[in-house]
Structure 1
């Protein structure tokens, strides 16, 4: 795996950013019929996915990064659950639901692959490099 220099290089972060954009477009198009609480929850959970990846990476240690990746996975679960509420209230049609749901599931797979890699990696992060 190539060395990641900044969180913007992480594919799961890039995909989470796309998910935020897609969800935001639907919100901005008025899909949520002024359900401000659900809008806030959808935006919060989708933003939390990418934000936790970024924060964990910036901690510069694998153990903390892994913890934040798990939090990000949890936010993906929250986001998917909220999509069901939006679908049930007819704020989203089946295609819109599927598109966002599939995107979130892909992010979870990417996050788990990154977690698996970090757990078996000899590298422990820049925080733990010994000075020579």
Structure 2
């Protein structure tokens, strides 16, 4: 299956697009750069992992994507707190990021058990 067909990749890509949209008017370049990079890293790492030949590499890149989700959640909370992001849309993105992290965790476990058999 190509990564473009994966629901988790599609959802992560939409989340990344939302990050770009909600940060369009943020004037703090450092914050804007960091949060858009972490958001972009998620679907990018899912795609890169799926293009790798070995399960070990695939799992490693899924872990990178999962780590970027944690980074993104942190940045969303900080963005709310400092007033860069509107609370309600940012909290919806936090919820989506947490759901994606759970999905990635399940995919990682599935691939790990596949690699052991």
Structure 1 residue 93: deviation in Å? 2.4
TM value normalised by structure 1: 0.83
Alignment of 1:1-132 (within 5 A): 5-28=1-24, 30=25, 32=26, 34-121=27-114
- How many residue pairs are counted as aligned between the two chains? 117
Two-structure CA RMSD over aligned residues (Å): 1.6
C-alpha distance in 2 between matches for 1:122 and 1:87: 41
Larger radius of gyration: 1
C-alpha distance in 1 between matches for 2:83 and 2:104: 30
C-alpha distance in 2 between matches for 1:58 and 1:16: 17
Unaligned runs of 5+ in 2: none
C-alpha distance in 2 between matches for 1:96 and 1:90: 13
| Structure 1 residue ranges (4+ consecutive) displaced by more than 6 angstroms after TM superposition | none
- 1:75-114 CA deviation, whole Å, 9 max, x = no partner? 0011111112211111122212211100100110110111
- Kept in 2: contact 1:11–1:110 (CA 8 A): no
- Kept in 2: contact 1:7–1:57 (CA 8 A): yes
Assess, with a 3 A threshold, how the Cα gap between structure 1 residues 117 and 81 changes in structure 2: closer, same or farther. same
- Kept in 1: contact 2:42–2:68 (CA 8 A): yes
Unaligned runs of 5+ in 1: 125-132
- 1:34-80 CA deviation, whole Å, 9 max, x = no partner? 11111100110001111111111111211110011011110001111
Higher normalized helix content (fraction of residues) = 2
TM value normalised by structure 2: 0.93
